Each structure stands twice: as structure tokens, then as C-alpha cells.
Amino acid sequence: MTTSSMAQALNAALRDALREDERVLVFGEDVGPLGGVFRITDGLTKEFGEERCFDTPLAEAGIVGLAVGLAMGGFRPVIEMQFDAFAYPAFEQIASHVAKLRNRTRGRLSLPMVIRIPYAGGIGGVEHHCDSSEAYYAHTPGLKVVTPATADDAYWLLRDAIADPDPVIFMEPKRLYWSKGETSVEDRRAAGFGRAAVLREGRDATLVAYGPTVPVALEAAEAAARDGRDLEVVDLRTIVPFDDATVVSSVRKTGRCVVIQEAQGFAGVGAEIAARVQERCFHSLAAPVLRVTGFDIPYPPPILEHSHLPDADRVLDAVDRLQFDDEPDLLYLAGEAS
């Protein structure tokens, strides 16, 4: 076990992938000598040369389009969009080509490429630097969407993403870049990709979170425990593919569920999760599945972002609304009601 920040873990994953597989290429804006604005590619040009890790001209559609061609030509591009909102110029390439090439060619062509996107807020960033854009990608068939919440997951999920035969949108919660965690030396390849993690076991309700809100869920569970309420915390890790099994078995056990996302709520990933839980766990549910999300507003300016971001208090308010005082529900859960 060693301790590292998520940023360091991502850097290590890129370095190891470049070392192990000659086809891996890293490129984007400022990823070369600067090492990326978040330093995720720090030192890679120095170690692997400009051929393997390089700065492109400033054009996101170009970066993604170039990656499509390189992937068609046998390489494995791992590209960086500098910030969430600056990936939008590339959306056409992503939605019309990256997501569809396998399908259009009946599997004759595939695009093993990774698009890394630092996303979401909580760092006091000005406009266009804090968007939660995961739903756009998750809604696009043909894209896998991954978002780690710990340094260890960041390392292994990125390694898995690079090894994956299909395109992966790798969303990095930028406010967790500097949070430290243990990273294991044991090989955890393919252990987390497509599998949610139960980060904390509990009996009373399930909190489902991903990316930037995972620490929020853990903090809420911690606080609830002091009030005698035992919450389970599930970290999705990958949004696509979605791990129904882990989420469903947790909610069937607890009978209550709160879904937490930083993104605006309307038509978001949380809505999908709530629907899936409700479809699969209806008879186990003692209360409606609730969502705790950001508001349906453009991401606020720095001085107001704390009003927008879901915090542990907002989560606990939702937990309080899970009808714990309803007699029939308790009986139902105890198996005493029909």
C-alpha cells in the first residue's frame, strides 16, 4: 500500500500504460511540457518523448477527430479535454463517430480510445470550468462512462479504460484530484470496471453516489451513524455499464434509497438510477427513491457554488424524508405485513 493523490494515481496509470503498450498515445491541450493544467500528464513527454505525449493545436473537435483516425489506424489514444465545458466543441465527433463506429461497421472497426475529462465543480472555478456533463455521454449509446472517487479506483479504472476495446469517457472529479488515498500494489485489473463498490455497509437506507458526491455520501453516512441511523454507501464507479446487481441487492436489503449527484437533477443520471431501482426493488421499498442533486441552473459563480452543491446536510434531509416513522413500512420490512 502506498498513499497518493488521485492526480498522482492517474499520472501513474498513464505512465504504466505508455510503458506497457506502444500503441498508447497521450495528447491534448497543454499535456506536453506543462503536464496538463492539473498536472495529470506531468513528466510524460519527458519520459516518452513528443511522439507519444504531445500538445495539439487548440481545437477539441480536432483532438477527438484525430484520435478517431489514430484508433482506426491501430493506436490507442488517451486524450484530454482540458475542462468539462471545453469538450463541447468535440461533441459531434463524440456522438456521431466515437460512439457509433463499431455499430456502423458491424464491428469491423472499433475505437479503443479514452477521452479524459476533468469535470464538476467545488473548486471555485469560473464559468465553463465546472460543468457536470456526464449525462450527455451516458445518454449516448456506444460510450462507456467511468468516474472514480478514490485514488486507487482512479488508477485501476483508467488502466481498464485504456485496455477496453470500446471508447471510454473517463470523467475525473476535479475537486478530488488532491484528495489522498491508499493505492494497492495488488493487481485489481477488471475488478472495478462495470462494478459498483459498497464503500460502507448499513441496514437502514442505501446512498448511491458517483464521482464528486461519493465523499459527500460517506460524510452523510458518518453523521447519520451518530444519530443511530445505519446507511449503506454505494459508489457506482462506472455509470455505463451500469451495475444493477450491486445497487439492487443493496436496496432490497435496506428498503430505502437516496441517489446523490452533483449535476443538475432534471433528466440526469440520478433519474436513471432512481427509475432502475424502482423497477427492480418496488416490493422492497418502504419509501420513494429520492434524489439529491444540484439545482437546474447553469453552474453558479464561485461565491454561490456552495448553495448549489449537494452537501451532507441536503443528503440527511432527504434521508429524513424516507418515512422511517411509518409504522406499516417498518412492519413490512420486518416481514410482518403482507
Ligand X SMILES: Cc1ncc(C[n+]2csc(CCOP(=O)(O)OP(=O)(O)O)c2C)c(N)n1
Positions marked catalytic: 129
Q: Residue 91's binding partner, choosing from ligand X, another protein, none, with beta-carbon cut-off 5 to 8 A by kind?
A: none
**# residues near another protein by CB under 8 A:** 39
Given a contact cutoff of 8 angstroms between Cβ atoms, the answer to whether 200 and 231 are in contact is yes
Choose among 164, 260, 239, 154: nearest CA to 194.
239
Tell me how crowded residue 307 is: count the other CB atoms within 10 A of its CB. 11
Q: Residue 75's binding partner, choosing from another protein, ligand X, none, with beta-carbon cut-off 5 to 8 A by kind?
A: none
Q: Give residues 276-305 in contact with another protein (rule: CB under 8 A).
A: 295-298, 300-304
State yes or no: residue 33 binds ligand X (CB under 6 A). no
Q: How do the residues of the chain divide into helix, strand and coil, expressed in percent and rounded to 5?
A: 40, 20, 40
If you ran DSSP here, which 8-state letter would residue 97 be given? I
Residue 194 in grid coordinates: 462495470
For residues 251 and 329, give the distance between their C-alpha atoms in angstroms, rounded to a whole number.
Answer: 14
- Nearer to another protein by Cβ, of 33 and 194: the residue is 33
State yes or no: residue 91 binds ligand X (CB under 6 A). no
**CA contacts within 13 A on the Cβ side of 75:** 17
State yes or no: residue 34 binds another protein (CB under 8 A). yes
Given a contact cutoff of 8 angstroms between Cβ atoms, the answer to whether 102 and 142 are in contact is yes
State yes or no: residue 43 binds another protein (CB under 8 A). no
State yes or no: residue 91 binds another protein (CB under 8 A). no
Q: Determine which residue in the list 49, 69, 107, 124 makes contact with another protein, applying CB under 8 A.
A: 124
Residue 92 in grid coordinates: 459531434
Distance from the Cα of residue 41 to its chain's centroid: 19
Q: Let me know the angle formed at the C-alpha of 154 by 82 and 7, rounded to the nearest 5 degrees.
A: 55
State yes or no: residue 272 binds another protein (CB under 8 A). no
String of DSSP letters for 33-60: TT--TT-TTTTHHHHH-TTTEEEPPS-H
Q: Which stretch binds another protein (CB under 8 A): 152-160, 245-253, 282-290, 308-316?
A: 308-316
- Nearer to another protein by Cβ, of 295 and 324: the residue is 295
Q: Determine which residue in the list 24, 28, 29, 170 makes contact with ligand X, applying CB under 6 A.
A: 29
Q: Which stretch binds another protein (CB under 8 A): 133-141, 188-196, 277-285, 309-317?
A: 309-317
Q: Residue 102's binding partner, choosing from another protein, ligand X, none, with beta-carbon cut-off 5 to 8 A by kind?
A: none
- Nearer to another protein by Cβ, of 163 and 216: the residue is 216
Q: Which residue is nearest to ligand X (CB)?
A: 86
Residue 125 in grid coordinates: 472555478
State yes or no: residue 178 binds another protein (CB under 8 A). no
Q: Residue 320's binding partner, choosing from another protein, ligand X, none, with beta-carbon cut-off 5 to 8 A by kind?
A: none
Contact mark string toward ligand X, 64..83, x via CB under 6 A: ------------------x-
- Nearer to another protein by Cβ, of 166 and 305: the residue is 305
Cβ 60 to another protein shortest distance, Å: 8
String of DSSP letters for 260-327: EEEEESTTSHHHHHHHHHHHHHGGG-SS--EEEEE-SSSPPPGGGHHHHS--HHHHHHHHHTS-TT-H
Q: Give residues 191-250 in contact with another protein (rule: CB under 8 A).
A: none
Tell me how crowded residue 40 is: count the other CB atoms within 10 A of its CB. 26
Write out the residues near ligand X by the rule CB under 6 A: 29, 58, 60, 82, 86, 89
Write out the residues near another protein by the rule CB under 8 A: 29-30, 32-35, 37, 55, 57-62, 85-86, 88-89, 124-129, 266, 295-298, 300-304, 307-308, 313-314, 317
